Homo-oligomer: A and B are copies of this chain.
Amino acid sequence: MLASTCVHPTAKSRPSIFHTLGSDSGSYADRLHQFWKQVERFKPKSTISDSTPRLMAVVSGWICEVRLLPDGRRQIFSFILPGDVVATGGFTDVGVRELLTLTHVELADAALMNAGVDPALAQAAIADAQREREQRLLDQIVRIGRLTAKERVLNLLVELHDRLDAVGLVRNGAFRLPVTQELFADALGLSVVHINRTLQQMRREGLVSFEAGDIQLNKRAALAQLAACEVAAAET
């Protein structure tokens, strides 16, 4: 029911990325070319392990941060979407946190993207990203710590919707969700079976609809459910 195919964003879907490209030096075409030449690409279901810790910006595709327990249990910390900045390397090899691609992924060195930008600004952007990331981790803790199964699913879907919306990846309230129900289960601390039943129920209640691998959040009635949480703004 949830799509498992890969995101293949069109040019239109990367506005936030290019906004961060400075516009003051060299021809735009030159810089664009330079940029695309240095983009790193990953296949779906591959692990991103960078020996040298770097800050990378996600140009396209989905990644998730995951930890595998010795007995096979798995916990997903967060989903990383186009426009996000992610720190590769460092952690990765300790078996503490892995970066797992869910689709084809394109990464660009964040430093490169900030070339020509006021260093102070770049610094501020990084700091901002860090703060948002922390905020998301806290949300995740509340989600799995204090919300019911249904609330968890809705809450996460709303978060993903809003984040994708911010980078223009939502069309008519629908977005591509390259996440299997098993992944969802591991993100929300639930079992696949229960995720499935919860989704079915939500579909029957008209809260969400599925279509050709896309998911759509209907009404912000969903948000009522989520009043339990702190989701404040956002519209559909």
Contacts and interface: CB of A to CB of B under 8 A. Distances in A.
A124 to B, nearest CB: 14
A75 to B, nearest CB: 5
Interface in A132-175: 134-135, 137-138, 140-142, 144-146
Contacts of A117: none
Number of identical monomers bound together in the oligomeric complex: 2
A95 interface: yes
Contacts of A67: 138, 142, 230
A234 interface: no
A97 B138 contact: yes
A69 B228 contact: yes
A96 B67 CA distance: 26
A170 B121 CA distance: 44
B229 A146 contact: no
Interface residues of A, number: 28
A135 to B, nearest CB: 7
A75 B146 contact: yes
A201 B75 CA distance: 27
Given A134-B134, A230-B96, A69 B146 contact: yes
Contacts of A74: 146
- Smallest CB-CB A-B distances: 4 pairs: A145-B189, A144-B145, A75-B145, A73-B146
5 contacts: A130-B130, A137-B141, A144-B145, A145-B188, A146-B189
Interface of A: 67, 69-71, 73-75, 77, 95-97, 130, 134-135, 137-138, 140-142, 144-146, 188-189, 227-230
